[in-house]
Chains A and B, each alone.
Chain A
Amino acid sequence: MLKNLCQKMFGRSLWVYHANSGGCNGCDIEVLNALTPYYDVERFGIKLVGSPRHADVMLCQGPAMRSTAQALKRAYDAMPAPKLVFAIGSCACGGGLWFDSYSVIGPVEKIIPVSYYIPGCPPRPEAIIYGVAVALGLVDKKTAPVAFKELELPIPQYHPGDLRGEGELVVYEKAEKV
Protein backbone atom coordinates (compact mmCIF):
# COMPACT_ATOMS: atom_id res chain seq x y z
CA MET A 1 0.00 0.00 0.00
CA LEU A 2 2.80 2.33 0.97
CA LYS A 3 4.52 1.42 -2.27
CA ASN A 4 1.46 2.26 -4.37
CA LEU A 5 1.12 5.54 -2.58
CA CYS A 6 4.74 6.31 -3.23
CA GLN A 7 4.48 5.56 -6.90
CA LYS A 8 1.38 7.66 -7.29
CA MET A 9 2.45 10.61 -5.24
CA PHE A 10 6.13 10.79 -5.92
CA GLY A 11 6.10 9.52 -9.50
CA ARG A 12 7.95 12.41 -11.00
CA SER A 13 10.47 13.61 -8.53
CA LEU A 14 11.41 13.48 -4.92
CA TRP A 15 12.53 16.58 -3.17
CA VAL A 16 14.45 15.70 -0.11
CA TYR A 17 15.14 17.64 3.00
CA HIS A 18 18.10 16.58 4.98
CA ALA A 19 17.72 16.79 8.75
CA ASN A 20 20.49 15.97 11.17
CA SER A 21 19.23 15.73 14.69
CA GLY A 22 22.46 14.81 16.39
CA GLY A 23 24.46 12.38 14.27
CA CYS A 24 28.19 12.42 13.95
CA ASN A 25 28.15 13.88 10.42
CA GLY A 26 29.14 10.56 8.85
CA CYS A 27 25.70 9.99 7.38
CA ASP A 28 25.46 13.60 6.18
CA ILE A 29 28.60 13.13 4.18
CA GLU A 30 27.25 9.95 2.62
CA VAL A 31 23.96 11.62 1.73
CA LEU A 32 25.82 14.52 0.17
CA ASN A 33 28.00 12.01 -1.62
CA ALA A 34 24.86 10.51 -3.14
CA LEU A 35 24.02 13.97 -4.44
CA THR A 36 27.43 14.63 -5.98
CA PRO A 37 28.13 13.94 -9.67
CA TYR A 38 29.57 10.56 -8.70
CA TYR A 39 26.22 9.10 -7.81
CA ASP A 40 24.13 11.90 -9.26
CA VAL A 41 20.69 11.12 -7.91
CA GLU A 42 19.33 14.08 -9.82
CA ARG A 43 19.18 11.62 -12.69
CA PHE A 44 16.21 10.15 -10.88
CA GLY A 45 14.67 13.50 -10.07
CA ILE A 46 15.85 13.52 -6.48
CA LYS A 47 16.77 17.00 -5.44
CA LEU A 48 17.97 18.50 -2.21
CA VAL A 49 15.92 21.42 -0.94
CA GLY A 50 16.75 23.72 1.88
CA SER A 51 13.39 23.97 3.59
CA PRO A 52 11.07 21.27 4.89
CA ARG A 53 8.16 23.20 3.39
CA HIS A 54 9.33 22.28 -0.11
CA ALA A 55 10.15 18.69 0.64
CA ASP A 56 8.44 15.38 -0.02
CA VAL A 57 10.92 13.33 1.90
CA MET A 58 12.83 13.95 5.06
CA LEU A 59 16.16 12.18 5.40
CA CYS A 60 16.82 11.83 9.10
CA GLN A 61 20.27 11.31 10.44
CA GLY A 62 21.24 10.92 14.00
CA PRO A 63 19.11 9.85 16.93
CA ALA A 64 16.40 11.94 18.45
CA MET A 65 18.20 13.94 21.07
CA ARG A 66 16.76 15.78 23.99
CA SER A 67 17.88 19.09 22.51
CA THR A 68 16.75 18.51 18.93
CA ALA A 69 13.61 16.41 19.22
CA GLN A 70 11.30 19.42 19.28
CA ALA A 71 12.96 20.98 16.23
CA LEU A 72 12.71 17.66 14.40
CA LYS A 73 9.03 17.43 15.19
CA ARG A 74 8.47 20.99 13.98
CA ALA A 75 10.33 20.30 10.74
CA TYR A 76 8.21 17.19 10.22
CA ASP A 77 5.01 19.13 10.83
CA ALA A 78 6.10 21.78 8.36
CA MET A 79 6.38 19.29 5.52
CA PRO A 80 3.35 19.19 3.24
CA ALA A 81 1.51 15.87 3.08
CA PRO A 82 2.02 13.29 1.65
CA LYS A 83 5.38 12.97 3.28
CA LEU A 84 7.88 10.21 3.78
CA VAL A 85 10.59 9.92 6.38
CA PHE A 86 13.73 7.94 5.78
CA ALA A 87 15.82 6.98 8.77
CA ILE A 88 19.38 6.85 7.50
CA GLY A 89 22.07 5.22 9.55
CA SER A 90 22.07 3.20 12.72
CA CYS A 91 21.51 6.30 14.82
CA ALA A 92 18.24 7.17 13.16
CA CYS A 93 17.10 3.54 12.90
CA GLY A 94 17.87 2.46 16.42
CA GLY A 95 19.43 5.24 18.41
CA GLY A 96 23.00 4.44 17.58
CA LEU A 97 25.72 3.22 19.85
CA TRP A 98 24.74 5.66 22.56
CA PHE A 99 21.06 4.82 22.44
CA ASP A 100 20.82 4.67 26.22
CA SER A 101 22.78 7.74 27.14
CA TYR A 102 21.06 10.53 29.03
CA SER A 103 20.86 12.95 26.14
CA VAL A 104 19.55 10.51 23.57
CA ILE A 105 15.84 9.83 23.41
CA GLY A 106 16.25 6.98 20.95
CA PRO A 107 15.46 6.25 17.32
CA VAL A 108 13.75 9.05 15.42
CA GLU A 109 10.62 6.95 15.21
CA LYS A 110 9.97 7.84 18.82
CA ILE A 111 9.35 11.39 17.66
CA ILE A 112 8.11 11.13 14.07
CA PRO A 113 6.72 8.20 12.07
CA VAL A 114 9.40 6.59 9.93
CA SER A 115 8.47 4.93 6.65
CA TYR A 116 11.79 3.49 5.51
CA TYR A 117 14.95 2.44 7.25
CA ILE A 118 18.43 2.36 5.81
CA PRO A 119 20.76 0.84 8.40
CA GLY A 120 24.49 1.26 8.25
CA CYS A 121 27.05 3.32 10.08
CA PRO A 122 27.20 5.15 7.79
CA PRO A 123 25.34 3.44 4.94
CA ARG A 124 27.12 3.56 1.63
CA PRO A 125 25.72 6.05 -0.87
CA GLU A 126 24.68 3.00 -2.89
CA ALA A 127 22.74 1.74 0.11
CA ILE A 128 20.92 5.06 0.39
CA ILE A 129 20.07 5.05 -3.31
CA TYR A 130 18.93 1.45 -2.96
CA GLY A 131 16.69 2.37 -0.04
CA VAL A 132 15.10 5.16 -2.05
CA ALA A 133 14.65 2.76 -4.95
CA VAL A 134 12.92 0.31 -2.60
CA ALA A 135 10.60 3.10 -1.51
CA LEU A 136 9.81 4.00 -5.11
CA GLY A 137 9.06 0.37 -5.89
CA LEU A 138 11.87 0.07 -8.43
CA VAL A 139 13.53 -2.84 -6.67
CA ASP A 140 12.52 -5.35 -4.05
CA LYS A 141 14.04 -5.26 -0.63
CA LYS A 142 16.72 -7.84 -0.11
CA THR A 143 16.46 -8.36 3.61
CA ALA A 144 14.21 -10.70 5.49
CA PRO A 145 14.31 -11.73 9.12
CA VAL A 146 16.37 -14.83 9.70
CA ALA A 147 15.48 -17.29 12.38
CA PHE A 148 17.25 -20.52 13.08
CA LYS A 149 15.23 -22.90 15.12
CA GLU A 150 16.18 -26.25 16.50
CA LEU A 151 13.00 -28.04 15.48
CA GLU A 152 14.10 -31.39 16.71
CA LEU A 153 16.06 -31.36 19.88
CA PRO A 154 19.08 -33.61 19.63
CA ILE A 155 17.99 -35.41 22.78
CA PRO A 156 14.67 -37.05 23.53
CA GLN A 157 12.64 -34.88 25.79
CA TYR A 158 11.74 -36.40 29.09
CA HIS A 159 9.91 -33.94 31.18
CA PRO A 160 10.11 -34.55 34.89
CA GLY A 161 6.36 -34.16 34.75
CA ASP A 162 6.17 -37.42 32.84
CA LEU A 163 7.82 -39.37 35.62
CA ARG A 164 5.61 -42.20 36.87
CA GLY A 165 6.09 -44.48 39.80
CA GLU A 166 7.62 -44.25 43.19
CA GLY A 167 10.61 -45.44 45.13
CA GLU A 168 12.89 -47.80 43.24
CA LEU A 169 10.90 -48.04 40.07
CA VAL A 170 10.59 -44.72 38.33
CA VAL A 171 9.77 -44.77 34.65
CA TYR A 172 8.90 -42.24 32.05
CA GLU A 173 5.69 -42.19 30.19
CA LYS A 174 6.24 -41.91 26.42
CA ALA A 175 9.78 -43.16 26.85
CA GLU A 176 11.80 -43.88 23.76
CA LYS A 177 15.30 -45.15 23.39
CA VAL A 178 17.86 -42.95 21.74
Chain B
Amino acid sequence: MSILSKLGETLVCLKAGRVTLPYPAEAKPLPEKFRGRPIFDATKCIGCAGCANNCPAREILVYDVCQEIRILKYLGRHCAYCGRCADVCPEKAITMSQEFENGTNQIGDIQQRLELFMSTCQRCGRCFKEPSVLEQLKMKGYRFDDLENERWIFRSQATLKGEPAVDDLKIELD
Protein backbone atom coordinates (compact mmCIF):
# COMPACT_ATOMS: atom_id res chain seq x y z
CA MET B 1 0.00 0.00 0.00
CA SER B 2 2.65 2.40 1.05
CA ILE B 3 4.70 1.55 -2.02
CA LEU B 4 1.71 2.32 -4.19
CA SER B 5 1.19 5.66 -2.53
CA LYS B 6 4.87 6.46 -2.97
CA LEU B 7 4.57 5.57 -6.65
CA GLY B 8 1.55 7.83 -6.88
CA GLU B 9 3.54 10.61 -5.28
CA THR B 10 6.33 10.11 -7.80
CA LEU B 11 3.84 10.35 -10.62
CA VAL B 12 2.46 13.58 -9.22
CA CYS B 13 5.98 14.94 -8.92
CA LEU B 14 6.84 13.99 -12.49
CA LYS B 15 3.67 15.56 -13.77
CA ALA B 16 4.41 18.82 -12.01
CA GLY B 17 7.53 19.28 -14.10
CA ARG B 18 10.44 21.50 -13.20
CA VAL B 19 9.96 24.87 -11.60
CA THR B 20 13.49 25.71 -10.50
CA LEU B 21 14.76 28.75 -12.32
CA PRO B 22 18.25 28.43 -13.73
CA TYR B 23 19.14 31.69 -12.01
CA PRO B 24 22.91 31.96 -11.83
CA ALA B 25 23.27 30.56 -15.34
CA GLU B 26 20.60 32.69 -16.92
CA ALA B 27 18.63 35.49 -15.36
CA LYS B 28 14.91 35.75 -15.49
CA PRO B 29 13.85 38.89 -17.35
CA LEU B 30 12.93 41.65 -14.96
CA PRO B 31 9.47 43.15 -14.92
CA GLU B 32 9.27 46.31 -16.93
CA LYS B 33 8.63 48.65 -14.04
CA PHE B 34 11.28 47.13 -11.80
CA ARG B 35 13.08 49.74 -9.79
CA GLY B 36 16.70 49.02 -9.03
CA ARG B 37 19.43 51.32 -7.90
CA PRO B 38 18.93 55.00 -8.72
CA ILE B 39 21.65 56.28 -11.01
CA PHE B 40 22.52 59.96 -11.00
CA ASP B 41 23.50 61.72 -14.17
CA ALA B 42 25.90 64.49 -13.31
CA THR B 43 25.57 66.22 -16.66
CA LYS B 44 21.84 66.71 -16.22
CA CYS B 45 21.67 67.45 -12.50
CA ILE B 46 21.25 71.14 -11.68
CA GLY B 47 21.80 70.68 -7.98
CA CYS B 48 18.34 71.81 -6.92
CA ALA B 49 18.25 69.32 -4.03
CA GLY B 50 14.66 68.39 -4.76
CA CYS B 51 15.58 64.73 -4.55
CA ALA B 52 17.17 65.22 -1.15
CA ASN B 53 14.06 66.96 0.13
CA ASN B 54 11.75 64.30 -1.16
CA CYS B 55 13.67 61.21 -0.16
CA PRO B 56 11.83 59.44 2.65
CA ALA B 57 15.02 57.78 3.82
CA ARG B 58 17.02 61.00 3.78
CA GLU B 59 19.50 59.14 1.70
CA ILE B 60 20.72 62.00 -0.47
CA LEU B 61 22.88 64.60 1.17
CA VAL B 62 23.48 67.95 -0.40
CA TYR B 63 26.03 70.31 0.97
CA ASP B 64 28.03 73.23 -0.29
CA VAL B 65 31.70 73.02 0.48
CA CYS B 66 32.24 76.53 -0.76
CA GLN B 67 30.33 79.18 -2.63
CA GLU B 68 30.76 77.57 -6.02
CA ILE B 69 30.78 73.86 -5.43
CA ARG B 70 27.87 71.76 -4.30
CA ILE B 71 28.28 68.15 -3.38
CA LEU B 72 25.43 65.75 -3.84
CA LYS B 73 25.92 62.44 -2.19
CA TYR B 74 23.82 59.34 -2.50
CA LEU B 75 24.76 56.89 0.19
CA GLY B 76 22.71 53.88 -0.83
CA ARG B 77 22.70 52.40 2.63
CA HIS B 78 19.06 52.70 3.54
CA CYS B 79 17.61 53.57 0.18
CA ALA B 80 14.21 51.96 -0.20
CA TYR B 81 14.31 52.06 -4.02
CA CYS B 82 11.01 53.86 -3.92
CA GLY B 83 11.74 56.09 -6.90
CA ARG B 84 10.50 59.30 -5.33
CA CYS B 85 13.78 61.04 -6.12
CA ALA B 86 13.43 60.11 -9.79
CA ASP B 87 9.81 61.28 -9.77
CA VAL B 88 10.57 64.69 -8.40
CA CYS B 89 13.73 65.46 -10.34
CA PRO B 90 12.91 68.32 -12.72
CA GLU B 91 15.78 67.51 -15.07
CA LYS B 92 15.22 63.74 -15.09
CA ALA B 93 18.77 63.30 -13.91
CA ILE B 94 17.91 60.23 -11.87
CA THR B 95 16.98 56.97 -13.50
CA MET B 96 15.82 53.96 -11.56
CA SER B 97 18.07 51.41 -13.20
CA GLN B 98 17.51 47.70 -13.43
CA GLU B 99 20.60 46.94 -11.39
CA PHE B 100 19.82 44.83 -8.40
CA GLU B 101 22.86 42.61 -8.01
CA ASN B 102 24.48 44.93 -5.54
CA GLY B 103 25.89 42.46 -3.05
CA THR B 104 29.21 43.76 -1.79
CA ASN B 105 31.61 43.51 1.08
CA GLN B 106 31.97 47.25 1.46
CA ILE B 107 28.90 49.34 1.92
CA GLY B 108 30.68 52.34 0.42
CA ASP B 109 30.58 50.63 -2.96
CA ILE B 110 27.04 51.70 -3.65
CA GLN B 111 27.47 55.36 -2.98
CA GLN B 112 27.51 58.00 -5.65
CA ARG B 113 28.94 61.44 -5.30
CA LEU B 114 28.48 64.34 -7.65
CA GLU B 115 30.49 67.46 -7.45
CA LEU B 116 28.59 70.23 -9.18
CA PHE B 117 29.79 73.60 -10.17
CA MET B 118 27.30 76.26 -9.22
CA SER B 119 27.10 79.83 -10.33
CA THR B 120 26.29 82.38 -7.71
CA CYS B 121 23.43 84.78 -7.78
CA GLN B 122 24.63 88.16 -6.75
CA ARG B 123 21.25 89.19 -5.46
CA CYS B 124 20.59 86.35 -3.07
CA GLY B 125 24.01 84.76 -2.77
CA ARG B 126 22.68 81.29 -3.45
CA CYS B 127 24.20 78.94 -5.95
CA PHE B 128 22.57 77.62 -9.05
CA LYS B 129 23.85 75.26 -11.64
CA GLU B 130 25.07 77.12 -14.66
CA PRO B 131 23.74 75.37 -17.79
CA SER B 132 20.05 75.48 -17.06
CA VAL B 133 16.93 77.51 -17.43
CA LEU B 134 18.56 79.91 -15.07
CA GLU B 135 21.10 80.62 -17.77
CA GLN B 136 19.39 83.94 -18.29
CA LEU B 137 20.39 84.96 -14.84
CA LYS B 138 23.93 85.11 -16.08
CA MET B 139 23.35 88.72 -16.96
CA LYS B 140 25.78 91.08 -15.45
CA GLY B 141 24.83 92.09 -12.01
CA TYR B 142 23.61 88.66 -11.08
CA ARG B 143 27.06 87.26 -10.54
CA PHE B 144 30.04 88.12 -8.53
CA ASP B 145 32.39 89.01 -11.28
CA ASP B 146 35.05 91.25 -12.57
CA LEU B 147 32.93 93.52 -14.70
CA GLU B 148 35.81 95.53 -16.12
CA ASN B 149 37.64 92.60 -17.57
CA GLU B 150 34.56 90.45 -18.13
CA ARG B 151 35.86 87.69 -16.01
CA TRP B 152 34.25 85.65 -13.32
CA ILE B 153 35.60 85.69 -9.87
CA PHE B 154 35.94 82.57 -7.83
CA ARG B 155 35.07 84.02 -4.47
CA SER B 156 35.93 81.37 -2.01
CA GLN B 157 39.30 80.32 -0.79
CA ALA B 158 38.08 76.80 -0.19
CA THR B 159 39.58 74.08 -2.29
CA LEU B 160 38.59 70.47 -2.44
CA LYS B 161 42.08 69.08 -2.39
CA GLY B 162 42.82 66.64 0.35
CA GLU B 163 39.25 66.30 1.41
CA PRO B 164 38.84 62.73 2.59
CA ALA B 165 36.15 60.53 1.16
CA VAL B 166 33.48 61.25 3.70
CA ASP B 167 32.60 58.21 5.69
CA ASP B 168 28.88 57.74 5.40
CA LEU B 169 28.46 56.26 8.85
CA LYS B 170 29.92 59.37 10.37
CA ILE B 171 27.49 61.53 8.48
CA GLU B 172 24.64 59.42 9.60
CA LEU B 173 25.60 59.87 13.22
CA ASP B 174 25.83 63.64 12.93
Contacts and interface: CB of A to CB of B under 8 A. Distances in A.
A99 B105 CA distance: 21
Contacts of B57: 90, 96-97, 99
A125 B20 CA distance: 13
Given A39-B23, A117-B104, A150-B117, A97 B155 contact: no
Interface residues of A, number: 62
B167 interface: no
A146 B56 CA distance: 22
Contacts of B19: 37-38
A177 B150 CA distance: 9
Contacts of A38: 19-21
Contacts of B75: 94
Interface residues of B, number: 54
Interface of A: prevailing SS? loop
Contact of B101 (A96, A126, A155): A126
Contact of A150 (B104, B112, B115, B154): B115
A118 B103 contact: yes
A142 B99 contact: yes
A134 B103 contact: yes
A145 B113 contact: yes
B162 interface: no
Contacts of A150: 69, 115-117
Interface stretch (A13-21, A53-61, A66-74, A158-166): A158-166
A163 B129 CA distance: 26
Interface string A132-163: 11110011011111111110011111111100
Contacts of B27: 126
A131 interface: yes
Contacts of A99: 57, 78, 172
B107 A95 contact: no
Contacts of A43: 20
Contact of B77 (A94, A124, A178): A94
Contacts of A91: 78
B100 A158 contact: no
Contacts of A135: 103, 105
Nearest to A143: B109
A90 B157 contact: no
A29 interface: no
Interface of A: 2, 37-40, 43, 90-91, 93-97, 99-100, 106-107, 115-121, 123-135, 138-139, 141-150, 153-161, 172, 175, 177-178
